[in-house]
Amino acid sequence: MSKGEGQLTRLPVRSETDEVKEGAEARAPAGSARAPLGADTEVPERPLRRKFTAEFKQRIVEEAAAATEPGAVGALLRRHGLYSSHLSDWRQQYQAGARSGLAPRQRGPKASPKNPLAERVARLERDKRKLEKRLAQAAAIIEFQKKVSEVLGIPLNPPDSEGED
C-alpha cells in the first residue's frame, strides 16, 4: 500500500454546541456587540441607563424637523435606537429652552430650600427635652423626700412663697 491509501484521515471532532455557536455567530449582524463565546452572558443585575448629551438631542430634534419624506422620522429613530417618546420629550424641552432645555437634569426628588429657622428650632427642641428630663428627675426626688419624711415623722416645711408678706 502506498502512503495515502488505507489510512483514515482524522477529521476534527465537533460537538453540537460548536455548531450551535457557529450558527449564532453567523446570524449575528456584522459589528454587533455580542459577548465572546464562553463569556458570562448573564443579564446584568441592573440595566445601564442611557444618557444623551444636549448636542445629540438637539441634532436629533433638528433632523426630525427637517425630515420631509414619509417614514423619515421613523428611520431616524431606528437608526439611533430611540423611541418616539424620546423625540416628543426632546421636542418639548427644545421648545422650552433650546439648548439649555435639552441639558440633562438631576434625577430624583428635588431638594427643598432649607428653612433658616429649622436649626434654631431643632436646638430649642433638644434643650426642651433635656429640661423636661431634669424636671421629671427633680419631681421624683421631691416625691421620694415626701415619703421619707412621712415614714420618719419629720414635718416638711411648705415652700416659702415669695412676694407674700
The pLDDT score that the predictor gives to residue 5 is 54
DSSP string, 85-107: HHHHHHHHHHHHHHHHHHS----
Consecutive 10-residue runs of the chain (165 residues): their mean pLDDT?
54 50 46 54 76 85 88 90 88 76 73 86 96 96 90 77 54
The pLDDT score that the predictor gives to residue 92 is 86
CA distance 67 to 78: 14
Alpha helices in 2-71, H assignment, sequence order: 16-27, 54-66
Whether residue 93 contacts residue 102, with contact meaning beta carbons closer than 8 Å, is answered with: yes
The pTM of this model reads: 0.37
The pLDDT score that the predictor gives to residue 19 is 47
The pLDDT score that the predictor gives to residue 141 is 94
| Burial profile 37-70: b = 16 or more Cβ within 10 angstroms, e = fewer | eeeeeeeeeeeeeeeeebeebbebbeebeeeeee
Query: Would you state the cell numbers that stand for residue 15, as one nine-digit string?
Result: 460537538
Fill in the amino acid letter for 66: A
